[in-house]
Structure 1
Amino acid sequence: MSNEELFPAIGSLAQKTDDLAGAHTGDARPAADEDEERAVQEIESLCMSCEKQGVTRLLLTSIPYFHEVIVMSFRCEHCGFSNNEIQSAGVIRPEGTMYTARILARADLDRQIVKSETCTVVVPELELTIPPSRGQLTTVEGLVRNVVTDLSAEQPLRRIQDEATYAKIQTIVDKLKEILADDDEEEEEVHVAGPVKSKSAVDKDAPMPAFTLKLDDPTGNSFIEFVGSTADPKWNLRTYRRTKEKNVALGLVAVDEPTATEGGAEEAENIGGGLEGENEEIYVFPGTCSSCGHPLNTYMKKVVIPYFKDILIMSTNCDRCGYRDNEVKSGAAISEQGRRITLKVEDREDLSRDILKSETCGLSIPDIDLELHAGTLGGRFTTLEGILDQVYEELSEKVFAHGDSTVAVDGKSRNTFESFLKSLKEVKNAERPFTLILDDPLANSYLQNLYAPDPDPNMEIVAYDRTWDQNEDLGLNDMKVEGYEEDAIKDAKADVAAS
């Protein structure tokens, strides 16, 4: 049996259900052969609440632009216990996924969500993190309602036992209710007076605070719906390599013997396996987290980039609060000239080029009027696709942090920024050719040459003399590396004479 027959699309399942219902309107029971055509399969299962027999319903279906899933629903007619869950029918993907959606209007609350049992949901504006739990097939609105229900369950008891915790949780609940725009009084009147009305229909025009929804799934089996196409400016997907800890948690690799060094060392320790000067050498510097003050280690590694120069990569990661920081420094002398690198990007293969952007380097893409000044994003050693993803995330967080879609941001309307972000997304997905320019007055930036050691036909590298203003900004005009001893003696004599 083909995969399409086992996992038909949701639309075809709904159509089949409607056809069967219409064909047997008024009949006592459909025929046995038509029973086999039903999309939902029913299996008797033990109820874990009353230990009697309940019914589990299984629906095998596929999500458009995602993959196959199994939707399960259990209900016990004896005690009323029910449970719904979703499981992936595919394999664990090679990389984890991070979906980001900006929820700006009530229409965005209808976006479909597939949340696996390994997915972590984060709402940064509310400092809300939903840890991995059972899988769900729902919408953004349904997810928010579930959070409100779960957080409100024990609130009366918390109000008596721990008023401080009650106040913090209630603040989050109130903000979530502003998103839902539910009116408790109207809700009670609707239930008493007659048929239940849709809350979204009653309050669809109510103002809604904007927020960001992030789905972080190391298995890659979660999903949030985009509108129209993947060029949706409110939607973004980023993939990442799983850490060893996440692979251990998923059961993909075995737990090795601990190799970490004891904390509290006063001196930097070499934990690499090579000799001094080799690429495998890693140094550890004990310190404290600038966010929570917890002790942590900063790792530093010297990397030799072929056909370029040595660089130093430093990484800091706090296990307690999650603070992370990465920085790249040049390990060579200051160049006498600056360097300008121009690359014509034509396909996705160019996006895999390694790129070293130092903190003194400016980045620009004239095709979409993008220009990043020196110091933006700091020093980064990644791929071209990675740095464009980072630029997109930084800009989208800045733009969508505001509420009304007509509010001006940095002198431009929201619609203008959304159009720009759409162009940026096309660029970072290589859906259109573009030109990338790296301008570094210290020549500490690098872009991989795929044809090295031969010249790259799509890349142009120009060396230029720095201006006096550039040297002044970099502090080079006052730098003196020869004959500084005489100046020190003169300054000391001047201080003595003055005293």
Structure 2
Amino acid sequence: MSIDPTLFPSIGSVADQTERLPVEAQAVDVTLDEERPVQEIESLCMRCENQGMTRLLLTTIPYFREVIVMSFRCEHCGFANNEVQSAGAIRPDGAVYTVRVLGRDDLDRQIVKSNSCTVIIPEWELTIPPGRGQLTTIEGLIRDIITDLSADQTLRRVQNPVAYEKIESILDRAREAVPGGDDGEEDEASKDEVGPLSTPKKASQIDVPLTPFTVKLDDPAGNSFAEFAGSMADPKWNMRTYHRTKQHNIELGLVASDEPGPEAVAATEDEERIGGGLEGENEEIYIFPGTCSSCGHPSDTLVKKVNIPYFKDILIMSTSCDKCGYRDNEVKSGAAISEQGKRITLEVEDREDLSRDILKSETCGLSIPDIELVLQAGTLGGRFTTLEGILDQVYEELSEKVFASGDAVDDGHAFENFLKKLKAVKNAEHPFTLILDDPLANSHLQNLYAPDPDPNMTIEMYDRTWDQNEELGLNDMKVENYEEDAEPPKEGAQAATA
């Protein structure tokens, strides 16, 4: 579906068109002229109840989609407000945009926050729930945080000292990132030395150290966006999509609260509790009561047996805690231990190969020689996903831990360069080689040509070494004639011992 560029011009073209207008024309209010991109509509001011003016701009954000920027201003009371809404359809998947703010230049990154987007800054322990849409920058977002949280701090200091101290700690970090963002008061470091008519500097232009932090935009509608630097290979930027839950669909108005979502299980809750009620050999869901490893409250682990074509049966285990929200899932083999190990080598040529299903057991190692990536056995645990999905998990795990520790800056940005290579690999920008090495042969990579051999994939079976068997605990494992070891000693042997 093609979009008429005259209906949704890009922001850059709108700016160029405005600059070419005479100064007198720029100062005049834009009217409802079809040749001009901005439209005006009289609207009721909710503060003074007089008529204000709402300006609408239909524009396109590069590498994103079409949006409607709305700006309201009341000339009677001076109230002003702005908002952004998506002009396109709700995306089929939700999206999480992650930006690592390591330097002050990152504060200039543009972000689009829709009215269904949740903003998370983990280092500050701050979560902003969904609200009005915004077209702003990270600096603008932080200034809004300072303004909103500072509003009732004087009252909180008296009525709720605990909440006051917690919010004040967040405000201290925000003011460190954006000096002079509190109620319009500029810090001395944020002013130009040009006299009484000085204008405040942007936070990105201030020569003050910045403590790194992370900004996450989690939007189940997929209509939010965070700007990347240069290209999508930016190591400080990442986008991950996910399937919406039933609750997400209800909140977006896509599913009624009394209708089952697309991911609803065919069995009822009572049938799942007794571990039966489903037809078919592999349709049973077993529930094992346990304890949450995060908060210690009781939680259940659901186990389901799944058959992978041309491979073997596996067990998918899922744990979810209703108290703290902790979630975890893992994959275990449901078959006997193989006599040999397995090494799978795949030559990835294009993005189609990234859609291959992959089962990586907890004993499997993963390596990509092209970028010198080596994951030892046990990393990420057992996973049943796609090749693109597991590379996304590797990228997120590495970027979160290394950027949070500051190692990416201390080593001369060497790790940033490695993440650029990893991002190019997970986007299949060039061919690369993937190697899965599992001494228990419990890992699997989908063959797109099954049952015929895959020309891009090589499977090698090999004999395990003694050290590998020792590490896996197989050298001391006895599965035949073990009854002899359990037999009591004979009477003659007892007498000899006495």
- Alignment deviations for residues 319-349 of structure 1 (CA, whole Å, 9 cap, x no partner): 4433111110000011111111111100111
1:174 paired with 2:172, answer yes
Q: How many pairs align? A: 486
Residue in 2 that maps onto 1:326: 329
Residue in 2 that maps onto 1:231: 233
Match 2:275 to one of 267, 270, 282: 270
| C-alpha distance in structure 2 between counterparts of 1:454 and 1:29, whole Å | 71
| C-alpha distance in structure 1 between counterparts of 2:308 and 2:30, whole Å | 71
Residue in 2 that maps onto 1:115: 113
Q: Offset of 1:467 from its aligned partner?
A: 0.6
Q: Offset of 1:213 from its aligned partner?
A: 0.9
The range that moved more, 453-462 or 188-197, is 188-197
Q: CA contact under 8 A between 2:139 and 2:203: conserved in structure 1?
A: no
RMSD in angstroms over aligned alpha carbons? 3.0
Residue in 2 that maps onto 1:449: 447
Aligned partner letter, 1:373: Q
- Alignment deviations for residues 328-386 of structure 1 (CA, whole Å, 9 cap, x no partner): 00000111111111111001110000000000000001111010000000000000000
Residue in 2 that maps onto 1:249: 251
Q: CA contact under 8 A between 1:182 and 1:199: conserved in structure 2?
A: no
3-state DSSP class of the match of 1:8?
A: coil
3-state DSSP class of the match of 1:470?
A: helix
| C-alpha distance in structure 2 between counterparts of 1:218 and 1:372, whole Å | 31
Seen in structure 2, the aligned counterparts of structure 1 residues 333 and 19 have a Cα distance that, compared at 3 Å, is: same
Residue in 2 that maps onto 1:37: 35
Residue in 2 that maps onto 1:261: 269
Aligned partner letter, 1:314: M
Aligned partner letter, 2:215: L
| C-alpha distance in structure 2 between counterparts of 1:109 and 1:39, whole Å | 29
| C-alpha distance in structure 1 between counterparts of 2:325 and 2:494, whole Å | 49
| C-alpha distance in structure 1 between counterparts of 2:67 and 2:295, whole Å | 40
The range that moved more, 144-153 or 351-360, is 144-153
| C-alpha distance in structure 2 between counterparts of 1:436 and 1:354, whole Å | 14
Q: Offset of 1:202 from its aligned partner?
A: 9.2
- Alignment deviations for residues 36-62 of structure 1 (CA, whole Å, 9 cap, x no partner): 533321111112222221111111111
Residue in 2 that maps onto 1:209: 211
In structure 1, list runs of 5 or more residues that go unmatched: 408-412
- 1:276-425 equivalences under 5 Å are 277-278=281-282, 280-403=283-406, 406-407=409-410, 413-425=411-423
- Alignment deviations for residues 455-486 of structure 1 (CA, whole Å, 9 cap, x no partner): 11111111111111000000001111122232
Q: CA contact under 8 A between 1:60 and 1:70: conserved in structure 2?
A: yes
Q: Offset of 1:242 from its aligned partner?
A: 1.1
Seen in structure 2, the aligned counterparts of structure 1 residues 306 and 32 have a Cα distance that, compared at 3 Å, is: closer
Q: CA contact under 8 A between 1:96 and 1:239: conserved in structure 2?
A: yes
Aligned partner letter, 2:72: F
Q: CA contact under 8 A between 1:353 and 1:448: conserved in structure 2?
A: yes
Aligned partner letter, 2:346: L
Seen in structure 2, the aligned counterparts of structure 1 residues 126 and 491 have a Cα distance that, compared at 3 Å, is: farther
Q: Offset of 1:14 from its aligned partner?
A: 0.9
Residue in 2 that maps onto 1:155: 153
1:15 paired with 2:16, answer yes
Q: Offset of 1:240 from its aligned partner?
A: 1.1
**Percent identity of equivalent pairs:** 69
Q: Offset of 1:272 from its aligned partner?
A: 5.6
| C-alpha distance in structure 2 between counterparts of 1:491 and 1:425, whole Å | 64
1:488 paired with 2:486, answer yes
| C-alpha distance in structure 2 between counterparts of 1:492 and 1:153, whole Å | 85
Q: Offset of 1:402 from its aligned partner?
A: 3.3
3-state DSSP class of the match of 1:302?
A: strand
Q: CA contact under 8 A between 2:320 and 2:327: conserved in structure 1?
A: yes
Residue in 2 that maps onto 1:60: 58
| C-alpha distance in structure 1 between counterparts of 2:476 and 2:275, whole Å | 36
Q: CA contact under 8 A between 1:272 and 1:283: conserved in structure 2?
A: no
Q: Offset of 1:255 from its aligned partner?
A: 2.6
| C-alpha distance in structure 2 between counterparts of 1:244 and 1:495, whole Å | 68
1:95 paired with 2:93, answer yes
Q: CA contact under 8 A between 1:115 and 1:222: conserved in structure 2?
A: yes
3-state DSSP class of the match of 1:388?
A: helix
Aligned partner letter, 1:52: N
Q: CA contact under 8 A between 1:182 and 1:203: conserved in structure 2?
A: no
Q: Offset of 1:291 from its aligned partner?
A: 1.6
Residue in 1 that maps onto 2:7: 6
The range that moved more, 63-72 or 414-423, is 414-423
| C-alpha distance in structure 1 between counterparts of 2:8 and 2:190, whole Å | 43
